[in-house]
Structure 1
Amino acid sequence: MNLSYYWYEAARIMTTPARLVADMAKHSLLNPANPLAYSPYARSVAAACEMFERVTRRYGKPSFGLSTTQVDGVSVPVSERVVWERPFCRIVTFDRGFVRGPAEAQPKLLIVAPMSGHYATLLRGTVEAMLPSHQVFITDWIDARMVPLTAGRFDLGTYIDYLLDAFRDLGPDLHVMAVCQPAVPVLAAIAVMEAQGYEPVPRSMTLMGGPIDTRRSPTAVNCLAQERGTAWFERNCITTVPAGYPGAWRSVYPGFFQLSGFMAMNLDRHVNAHTEMFDHLVKGDGDSAEKHREFYDEYLAVMDLTAEFYLQTVKTVFVDHALPQGTMIHRGARVDLSAIRTCAILAVEGENDDISGVGQTLAALDLTPNLSAERKAYHLQKGVGHYGVFNGSRYRTVIAPRIAAFIREMAGPGETKAIAHQPESAAADQT
């Protein structure tokens, strides 16, 4: 039995008193009433206390915190509302106040957030960039340790079933954006809808940095899964949720495992970032330190995945390459990508992506032979890695407008001609 979760919980509990003492010491040393508050010694010790407290803390789920947006040049308030809910997922929409006229008819966009360890709030910037011109929905996946065993299993098939229900309930005239991991189940769900004649099929899907065919430009992540195989991950990465949580005794892939993997891939970068934060705190550079806090408050907040979903994803996507090879099965029927004839596809990739290599998402366009070229498009963004595909300045200024333009081209009857799928060399940079 893998006891890693229990050791993790024990370590967290044992360090809690020290963390609380460090937090109190930091506030005491920086209290304006303390004569030493502005001395280099106090700032150094306070900085060390804060770094210790942050390293030993369990980070809770952040909030989206999107209170306003600009619609047609006017600042309007934004509020969140749950419009769809299942045991392992809910869909949140962002209502924009006082929207009148043409903005009321803006396209509906469902952003399918990755279920790969981080919360949907990691896509805060993704949502924010699309809010002015779209009615935005997002999948808000639930931490598996918070879901009781009585709610049943959640595997890759259940994930696809959730998407099928959501597409039907939010339609018609729905557009879908899949960020990273959900590219495979989104593509599979739409293929199932088209093959079985479900209505309404989303008008378009944007696949961003997704592992559609990991045989193309395999990354370290892809190679590790291929070399180790599913059995290794089951032996070494699956454990049960300890008592004290609603999902106690559920078999999961813990979020802290996924986080440790992400951190290890760029360990020197994270060490340097924390060293810089310490220096900023000692120097009293509050703005720079706050930017660090904001990023890592989000990055270090992780959730658990059900064991069955994690293992099936590893096997289906990274070991068997079932979707591109035409062997993926959903509810007893083969997922046939050639059935996709109406839902337009935009594939977006980052030149420096070290999670989903260049060409893996582009494969979706090659695997859908019955979708016309006018309904396919591709964008390779130079100079960005995996995170930059859906967040950051290049996303806001280049990628998001490209996606918005594609959605406009595919929206509603009498749609205009889309940008045709170009060879990789011709479409390498549409900046």
Structure 2
Amino acid sequence: MFYQFYELNHAALAPFRAAADMMRLAYSNPLNPLSHTAFGRTLTASLEVFERTTRRYGKPEFGLPETTIDDKSVSVHEKIVWKKPFCNLIHFERSLPAGHSADPRILIVAPMSGHYATLLRGTVEALLPAADVYITDWIDARMVPMTEGTFDLDDYIDYVIEMLHHLGPDTHVVAVCQPSVPVLAAAAVMEAAGDRLAPSSMTLMGGPIDTRINPTAVNQLAKEKPLEWFADNVVMNVPWPQPGFMRPVYPGFLQLSGFMSMNLDRHMIAHKDFFVHLVKNDGEPAEKHRDFYDEYLAVMDLTAEFYLQTVDQVFIKHALPKGELMHRGERVDPSAIRNIALLTVEGENDDISGVGQTHAAQTICTNIPDHMRMHYLQPDVGHYGVFNGSRFRREIAPRILAFTREHARTGRPVVKRVIKGGKSA
């Protein structure tokens, strides 16, 4: 009933939100004399803060209409090239200049952990000038009718394999956070089967490969509670009249509540500062706040079976690093990976996936040659900074692009590199 109560509360506040928005527009209109007074700006700021903290945030857009290639601005078009009930594969199709050589084809596997794939807008934007980029656009489970069946961790691995088959040979896969485990599993399954369409390289960024290492608050919660607690307390049925009515899900608003509670003081200070900037009519910081929270507060539901299986296998049983993870009844063997280059990336201050958890992939993938593996630790960034922000653009993205070019299956010799400022393996 908690999900239904959440929906009821949201509906009950709708008239008040509408009234607040109407009053905000009236008091911020420059033709209204009060808009030029401290009282008017204070009232307008209060109304906007109320409206923004009580609204439901829809799925944002990627909003990447162009990029720069060879010092020239070229247009970019989003195109769905593969689709399943729980995921679309989006291609950022660039209008390449004449004579431009082929760039690495990169499949970005976005996290299915509560936020939309647009959270990786900065990741895509940084790679677009030098790569042919595709991204997984996971579908909100509340929008998928029950007639479409279930979606669990096995299905996730299958989806990754199918997408790699669709894209063809010499594709490079980049997994951000949560998908590090299913992407590594997919790579192992493909290699064990001798699949010629296995990726040329695999980049794992801030992922929970082995959460026994340097556990964070997220990992501790999973250790303290049995799986039955999660099934009883955080799994709910989608309420009417959503398309996914009666589908068991882990609601996005619960995930968001958990993330916000980890840094509640920072979020409260951010909203207080937002209010002050509005009163002072300081536009740029206020707009940055809007942009960040428009993305951060837009959440999606996860299917209950995927969520519970992930909690059980990744955070409670640590099945992958123990060699116990199963896919369709067969054991996933990371040592089967021999021909896929491996790059792992971590953030020094990551409070979601602790330092060492992603690097564990280097340990369990025992048969990747040394010249085909590298680890990089980015100083002074947290979890978000591993895949977004100025340090990602300046330090991490160039390394990913160099790694993919270096390990493209074109017959060129591979040279091991040592990068200053991080750790190489």
8 A contact 1:373–1:421 mirrored in 2: no
The alignment's TM-score, normalised by the length of structure 2, stands at 0.98
1:347 aligns with 344
2:297 alignment partner, one of 280, 285, 300: 300
CA distance, structure 2, for counterparts of residue 101 and residue 325 of structure 1: 49
Contact 2:217 2:352 in 1 (8 A): yes
Return the alpha-carbon distance in structure 2 between the equivalents of residues 99 and 295 of structure 1. Answer: 33
Does structure 1 residue 153 correspond to structure 2 residue 150? yes
Give 1:23 deviation, angstroms.
0.3
Correspondence for 1:37: 35
Specify the SS of the correspondent of 2:9.
Answer: helix
Q: What is the letter of the counterpart of residue 195 of structure 2?
A: Y
Q: Which residue in 2 is equivalent to 1:199?
A: 196
Deviation, structure 1 residue 74? 0.7
Alignment length, in residue pairs?
424
Distance in 2 between residues matched to 1:293 and 1:162, nearest whole Å: 34
Q: What aligned pairs does 1:228-307 form with structure 2 within 5 A after superposition?
A: 228-307=225-304
Report deviation, 1:332.
0.8
Amino acid at match of 1:63: E
Contact 2:87 2:138 in 1 (8 A): yes
CA contact (8 A) 2:180 2:208 kept: yes
CA distance, structure 1, for counterparts of residue 20 and residue 93 of structure 2 = 41
1:118-142 Cα distance to aligned partner (Å, 9 max, x none)? 0000000000000000000000000
Alignment of 1:334-373 (within 5 A): 334-373=331-370
Distance in 1 of aligned mates of 2:423 and 2:193: 37
CA deviations over 1:372-417 (Å, ceiling 9, x no partner): 0111000000000000000000000000001111111101222332
Aligned equivalents of 2:204 and 2:226: distance in 1?
26
Note closer, same or farther for the CA distance 1:283–1:147 as it changes in structure 2 (3 Å cut): same
CA root-mean-square deviation: 1.3
List alignment gaps of at least 5 residues for structure 1.
none
Shift of 1:196: 1.1
Following TM superposition, by how much is the alpha carbon of 1:99 offset from its aligned partner in structure 2, in angstroms?
A: 3.0
72, 75, 98: which is aligned to 2:73?
A: 75
Amino acid aligned to 1:295: F
- TM superposition shift of 1:428: 3.9
Aligned partner of 1:309 in structure 2 is: 306
Contact kept in structure 2, 1:183 and 1:207, CA below 8 Å: yes
Give yes or no for the alignment of 1:226 onto 2:223: yes
Q: Which residue of 2 aligns with 1:170?
A: 167
Structure 1 residue 429: Cα displacement: 5.2
Q: 2:8 aligned to 10, 27, 30, which one?
A: 10
Give the drift of 1:421: 8.8
CA contact (8 A) 1:406 1:418 kept: no
Measured in 1, the distance between the counterparts of 2:213 and 2:389 equals 26
Moved more, 89-98 or 19-28: 89-98
Q: Contact between 2:375 and 2:423, CA under 8 Å: does it hold in 1?
A: no
Do 2:378 and 2:421's aligned partners in 1 also have CA atoms closer than 8 Å?
no
Q: Distance in 2 between matches of 1:287 and 1:19?
A: 24
> Residue in 2 aligned with 1:116?
113
Does residue 56 (structure 1) correspond to residue 54 (structure 2)? The answer is yes
Q: Find the partner of 2:22 among 24, 31, 36.
A: 24
Cα distance between partner residues in 2 of 1:106 and 1:262:
36
What TM-score comes out, normalization by structure 1 length? 0.97
Deviations 1:330-367 (A, max 9, x none): 00100001100001100000000000001110010110
Structure 1 position 129 matched with structure 2 position 114: no
Query: What secondary structure does 1:91 align onto?
Result: strand
Shift of residue 199 of structure 1?
Answer: 2.3
| Amino acid paired to 1:75 | S
1:358 and 1:350 mapped to 2: Cα distance? 7
TM-aligned CA distance change 1:70 to 1:420, over 3 Å: closer
Mapped partners of 2:412, 2:343: distance in 1? 16
For the residue of structure 2 that corresponds to 1:178, the secondary structure is strand
**What's the offset of the Cα at 1:36?**
1.1
Q: Secondary structure at the match of 1:160?
A: helix
Whether the aligned pair in 2 keeps the contact of 1:374 and 1:421 (CA below 8 Å) is no
1:416 is paired with a residue whose SS is coil
Kindly indicate whether the alpha-carbon contact (under 8 Å) linking 2:335 and 2:366 is maintained by their aligned counterparts in 1. yes
Q: Secondary structure at the match of 2:36?
A: coil
Amino acid at match of 1:14: A
| Matched ranges for 1:199-218 at <5 A | 199-218=196-215
- Quote how far apart the aligned CAs of 1:88 are: 0.1
Matched with 2:83 is 85
* Identical counterparts, % of pairs: 59
Q: What's the CA shift for 1:100? A: 2.7
Which letter does structure 2 place at the counterpart of 1:225?
A
